[in-house]
Structure 1
Amino acid sequence: MAKLYFLTSAEFQLFHSLSFDKKPQMVNAPNLVSMRWPNGVWCYDANQYLISKFFNRASTHSDGGTLKQYATQLSHIIRFCFDKNRNLDQLVDSDFIEFIKLQSAPRPNGKIITTKTSVSILRRTLEFLDFVGRSRHRSDYVAIDGDIKGFKKKIELSKQVHHSHDAAPRWYWDHSEMPIESETTTRDSISAIAIDKLRTAAANGDTNFFLMKRRLAMLLVLEVTGGRRSEVAELQRSAVYKALAMTQPVLEMRNLKKGGNTYVTRRIRISHSDLRFLKDFIEMNVEPLLSIKKTSHDYVFVSERTGQPVRPNTITQEIHYLRNLAGVLGRAHPHMFRHRYVTKHLIALIESFKFANESDFRNKLLDLEFFKVQVLDFTGHKSPKSIEPYIKLAYAEHLKLKETLDALNKFKEVDAAKRAIINYSAELQARGGPRHIVDGLLELSKNFPFLPPPIVTTDE
């Protein structure tokens, strides 16, 4: 099924306003998402809606960003209206009820979407149809007694979730025929055993040396930074070199949940062992490839075929490939690494400050400015509300783990060493022991003074 949206060029500009001397003022709008009807005709209402979201700071980064997600959700109602030969402002409640049932039905390819996804599509659709109605001065097009009997519901959020002292309401669209979404949000994190299996599969599963190293580097960055897949895809080589020069390394990565289309970063503590492997990947694999392809940019993860930066979906595909290769049961996708990262850091806070119980932990975490700033900084979340689903998971894990914060930090160093040993061993097997691998093992031994230095030989 053909997509109903496309992206503008990286140089595209959008009209914003007229200056006092009546000259048009333009704004940069790279990768702005535009929509058409299935017959190729420009969909005016959908594009006006997306432009309004763009000016409200919805992102367009990484192949369309948030606007692409909105366009994907709106595609369903646009196809529905096209098939029924209706304009978007001609629907009635029975039409929308039919649309609701279609969203709950299996797709033509047999895929069944979750209730959460279905509800998300329906809420976006109601908001969009309300926008369509109001653009025609029909405020009752979507209303409790309107043509489409949608309504807004208010969720009262606790004071701790917001910076203000008053409880702040949040509104969302609903309809009496919509399925009920579970109020419980779960965060499944990937296990250490699964990560080890993925890493072993990456080291042994492909004769293509560049892809092997890239997969190992991707797994490393996902695990130690807790980055979203788009943030990992945008990791800069200059940031790796900058961190390497530090006594206590901090890696700078883009934070895509803050700043809309502006470039905002967060800083993540990372071990020298992990940075050294990334440096080797860059110098031995990425930069020679870019030289051959005559390509110039600052990205770490690139396509072997073109030398251009990989897209976020490439990371998802690689994890899916490794999951199948490793025989990992259950789910394994990039965001599960982030869930693991956030949970481990919350456990560290619990161990460090010895909270009385889960309720005490939640209250202090969401109420005290010190904890809010610290947690939002290392997770890259925009709102403390986003942390709540992790709290129960972290405290449950804490009850199983009695190690101190110092022990946890030691485990982080051991984890880094374990990653380095597997990664370098894979390269030794593939390359026969070049000088930079031996140097890497020697450097690794410095992190563990209680171990004798390795005895290594090389022909180089």
Structure 2
Amino acid sequence: MKGGKLMRGQLFTTYDSVLLPSYIRISNVAGELSVQTNELAKLALTIWPDGRPCAIVNYWLTEQALNLTGDSITTYASQLTHLIKFCHNNKKNFHELNDQDIFDFVRQMKTPTILAGKRKRASNNQIRQILKLSLRFLMWFQNSKIYFSDRILIGTAEVNAKITITWKQSSYTRARYIHHMAMPPKNSQIREKSPISNEVITSLENSIPIDPTTSNGYKTEQPIKNYITDYLYERRTFCLWIFKRSGLRPAELTEIPVDENRDHLSSGAILLPTKKTRNSKPILRTFYLSMSEGSRVARYLRARSAFLANLKKHGRVVSGSNVFLLTNNGQQLTRLALTKEFQRLVTRAGHANQKVCMSMFRHRFITKEIQLYLKEFSITQDRYDFSDDVLFQSILKRIATKTGHKSIRSLWSYINLAINDLFIFAEADELIEQNNLYTEGMQLSASLRRTTKVVARRNKSLADEIQTDLNNFEALMKKLFRKA
């Protein structure tokens, strides 16, 4: 079992690679015990606010973990801590809950909290997900051998349960879910799935630090400090690029394998792991790249190899981690560390008070892909058709192969988002294309300027020459595209 660090104020702990006994067999001949085990990729366990293990929830989480991979079990544990806190604060056991408690529970979740000096409030969609899971857990609890009350805890109106529910069907996934009268209405899907803008991406890219970085827990000499700084700059720029280009999940980015991609890049593709499946080992999907994009990936891998070689050269102990992203001491970068680094970059770029997260790159990628397919269809068919479900299904199936979605059902919500943001006036197409070319050219120039800052630490005169050329290039771009 690996992991298991409990953060301050947190009521759950996540463990990696957990072995659990599934059954014990006694040999009829020798009388020896044979223990069969199951290995869980992840297991999350909870406690009450007073530090006692929450055994009932842990029993349910263990049962769920047998059929889950990735971070879903961590999400379940995190969401159920809201119910755990509510019951603890109101001195109630799970079997004592009733309809009024559910209304109070939702009201409590709607109350803003102060975290790190900032006032935060859960969205209706977040509250809905927490309540759905809590009701699902209580339904399991009622049907388990642990529940002994004479009265039905949770059920429909005709059974006179303490918690009255109805069954509804999702308009997107068609899946059934438990509904309660206290459940708040949905937030706008478009607002929840807003893509990240080009302006925000550019500001994030321009905010990547290039100043010297020290290594955790080490006395760092200047030569190796430079190697670390150079690598971290390459890693951060690569992360933003691959997010923008592929729309992959953060957990997938931290598990992209190196060895499997060394030869694969020569064929114009990269192998990306697909999370959110029930496979214990992530399935690799092929994501095709252009020649220049393949070179961009190869550039990062060269920087990674040079970084590891210099760590070893200076006596650092480096593990043989077969993943793209490494920490500044050569270990595998975790998803949590990636998230924290991204949030620091968001703050540095001046977007701390805006909703900017890594998933917005995924929303952007899916939305842009739908728009490209729709525009291509309009060119070949000489019309825009925004009511053809067969067309949409065909488009979403193609996108699902790129994003790793097992089903297109969860992609349907992006259709309206893409159409709302799509410029459908044919006479504006040429102007849009010109603006895209100008934006691409200026983004390339900004990327080269950031790289030049790294060069300046080694060769200032060369960096000055490059800066002059970039000034001339940008002036030419503005003249060519008639930009002020």
Class of the TM-score when normalised by the shorter of the 2 chains: 0.7 to 0.9
Q: In the alignment, which of 33, 36, 59 is matched to residue 25 of structure 1?
A: 36
Partner of 2:176: 171
- Specify the alignment match of 1:210 in structure 2: 231
Residues in 2 aligned to 1:416 and 1:286: alpha-carbon distance in whole angstroms: 30
Instruction: Trace 1:140-289 onto structure 2 (pairs within 5 A).
Output: 140-145=152-157, 146-155=160-169, 157=171, 169-182=174-187, 184-186=189-191, 187-202=193-208, 204=210, 208-246=229-267, 249-270=268-289, 271-289=293-311
Deviates more, 1:285-294 or 1:92-101: 285-294
Does 1:46 pair with 2:57?
yes
In 1, the alpha carbon distance for the partners of 2:418 and 2:169 equals: 25
Larger radius of gyration: 2
The corresponding residue for 1:5 is 12
1:36 equivalent in structure 2: 47
Select between 144-153 and 96-105 the one with higher mean Cα deviation: 144-153
* Matched position secondary structure for 1:374: helix
- Asked whether the equivalents of residues 374 and 384 of structure 2 are also in contact (C-alpha less than 8 Å), the reply is no
- CA 178–133 in structure 1, closer or farther in 2 if over 3 Å, else same: same
Deviation at 1:325, TM superposition (A): 2.3
Q: Distance in 2 between matches of 1:346 and 1:424?
A: 33
Distance 1:24 1:191, change over 3 A: same
The correspondence for 1:340, drawn from 364, 374, 381, is 364
2:234 and 2:195 map into 1 onto residues whose CA distance is: 24
More displaced, 133-142 or 81-90?
133-142
The answer for the alignment partner of 1:430 in structure 2 is: 457
The one-letter code matched in structure 2 to 1:148 is: K
Give 1:252 shift.
0.6
**150 and 251 in structure 1: CA distance in 2 versus 1, 3 angstrom threshold:** farther
Alpha-carbon separation, structure 2, partners of 1:89 and 1:242: 57
Deviations 1:88-131 (A, max 9, x none): 21222222222221111122544221111112111111111111
Are positions 1:315 and 2:338 aligned together? yes
Task: Indicate the SS of the match to 2:199.
Answer: helix
Measure how far apart 1:137 and its partner are.
Answer: 6.5
Please give the secondary structure, in 1, of the residue aligned with 2:386.
Answer: helix
Structure 1, residues 68-105: CA drift from partner, whole Å, max 9, x if none? 11101111111222233332212222222222211111
Give distance in 2, aligned partners of 1:203 and 1:240.
Answer: 28
Whole-Å Cα distance in 2 between the matches of residues 181 and 89 of structure 1?
28
- Which region of structure 1 is more displaced relative to structure 2, 65-74 or 129-138? 129-138
Q: TM-score, normalised by structure 1?
A: 0.79
Is the 8 Å Cα contact of residues 45 and 58 (structure 2) preserved in structure 1?
Answer: yes
Q: Does 1:399 align with 2:406?
A: no
- Residue 26 of structure 1 and its aligned partner are, at CA, apart by 1.1
Matched position secondary structure for 1:25: strand
Q: 1:390 to 1:244 in 2, by over 3 A?
A: same
- Distance, in Å, in 1 between the alignment partners of 2:108 and 2:456 is 53
Asked whether the equivalents of residues 5 and 36 of structure 1 are also in contact (C-alpha less than 8 Å), the reply is yes
Q: Which has the higher contact order (CA 8 A, sep 6+)?
A: 1
Structure 1 residue 228: deviation in Å? Answer: 0.9
Separation (CA, whole Å) in 2 of partners of 1:388 and 1:290: 49
* 1:78 pairs with 2:92: no
Q: CA RMSD in A?
A: 3.5
Alpha-carbon separation, structure 1, partners of 2:312 and 2:445: 30
Distance in 2, Cα, partners of 1:416 & 1:362: 36
Whether the 8 Å contact between 2:168 and 2:178 is mirrored in structure 1 is: no
- In structure 1, what is the Cα distance between the partners aligned to 2:387 and 2:26? 56
> CA 1:178–1:156 in 2, change beyond 3 Å: closer, same or farther?
closer
Q: After the TM superposition, which of the residue ranges 206-215 and 76-85 deviates more from structure 2? A: 206-215
2:399 pairs with 1:375? yes
Q: 1:362 to 1:202 in 2, by over 3 A?
A: farther
Once the two structures are superposed, residues 306-341 of structure 1 have per-residue CA deviations (whole angstroms, 9 ceiling, x without a partner) of 422112132222232223323358432211111122
For 2:56, give the aligned amino acid.
D
CA contact (8 A) 2:301 2:324 kept: no
Shift of 1:264: 0.9
TM-score by length of 2: 0.75
Cα separation, 2, equivalents of 1:194 and 1:363 = 35
Q: Aligned-pair distance for 1:297? A: 0.9
Give yes or no for contact 1:141–1:147 (8 Å, CA) kept in 2. yes
Count of residue correspondences: 415
Matching of residue 95 in structure 1 with residue 116 in structure 2:
no
Identical aligned residues as a percent: 20
Cα distance in 1 for partners of 2:109, 2:286 equals 41
Deviation of 1:250 after TM superposition, in Å, equals: 0.6
Question: Does 202-211 or 96-105 show the bigger shift?
Answer: 202-211
Residue 347 of structure 2 is matched in structure 1 by 324
Separation (CA, whole Å) in 1 of partners of 2:442 and 2:155:
55
